[in-house]
Copies of this chain bind each other. A is one copy, B any other.
């Protein structure tokens, strides 16, 4: 078998101090307006959008210029704060922003937090501080998860990740990609593989952009090459994010995550889920209760705007899947690490 190791280019010989592993901030408050890195155009173009009112923030969320659950919540909080500066009716703004991506849990969470401050009589300055706090806390949580996750990894490991869970999806640093940044900086991780993540290609378009930009040794693989990669011995951990974690540790995440977990178990490769505690939903008992969104078949039938599949063809296009807790070696949140997750351990850390 051909080894995928080696050939990682000039970055391999660099020491951590040579590199800036955390240079990207996709959501930037500019004192009077919000700058967003337009993720639809990456990696071919780095274009910034200047949002000067809450309506423009709503539009950016709705149009997917900003994506990633934490990043969406942070952008929305800044939108509310801007509206307060501009003395616009905040009830209208809250309901418009809430409707921009109706299924995004973090969006609701951030708006509820702003709403509570408004109800308590906060002025525009206080709401700006609240938005800044939401952003700062997300970054701090990511750094904490980075430390916790990296500490689980033996020196000089290879890792595989899926989708984009990095600076682009958060206030910065990232969740699963934050663990990878921390692990590269700390010497636990030598090399990173990223799955393409069909059909949206977040791994190919966004994660590879972050990794190359921050000088982290990385190679892209087809999603279907993951098992062959594991068999080669090149990776010791699979590290992924989460969209929702149930009370027993079952984890919903981007389609393809479940397949990676099965392959990891077969090869004795370890499997880590990294997500802020706000992703844990103790009201959902198990993954069986999580409804999986099916998206339009056209996402599979066309590629890069060109029809690639015969007219008349059908497709089945689930966006997420559920990885059962039994396939997960560690769930990492900013509150701590749960190894071999189950209902009892989850209740002890996240229960009331």
Chain A: residues with CB nearer than 8 A to chain B?
1-2, 4, 7-9, 42-44, 193, 195-199, 201, 204-205, 208-209, 211-213, 218-229, 231, 255-256, 258-259, 262-263, 265-266, 288, 291-294, 297, 300-301, 303-304, 306-318, 321-322
Contact = CB atoms under 8 A, between A and B. Distances in A.
A227 B198 CA distance: 14
Nearest to A228: B321
B255 A300 contact: no
A16 to B, nearest CB: 19
Contacts of A201: 303, 308
Contacts of A212: 310-313
Q: Is the interface of A mostly helix, strand, loop or mixed?
A: mixed
16 contacts: A1-B288, A2-B293, A4-B316, A4-B318, A42-B310, A43-B311, A197-B224, A204-B308, A205-B309, A220-B314, A220-B315, A222-B223, A225-B321, A265-B266, A303-B304, A304-B306
Contacts of A204: 300-301, 308-309
A300 B224 contact: no
A230 to B, nearest CB: 9
Contacts of A218: 313-314
B219 A314 contact: yes
Contacts of A304: 303-304, 306, 308
A90 to B, nearest CB: 37
B226 A259 contact: yes
Nearest to A221: B316
B262 A310 contact: no
Nearest to A220: B315
Contacts of A259: 224, 226-228, 259, 263
Given A198-B222, A222-B255, A224-B256, A213 B314 contact: no
A101 B91 CA distance: 68
Nearest to A327: B266
Which of A7, A225, A227 has the largest number of chain B CB atoms within 10 A?
Answer: A225
A220 B309 contact: yes
B208 A316 contact: no
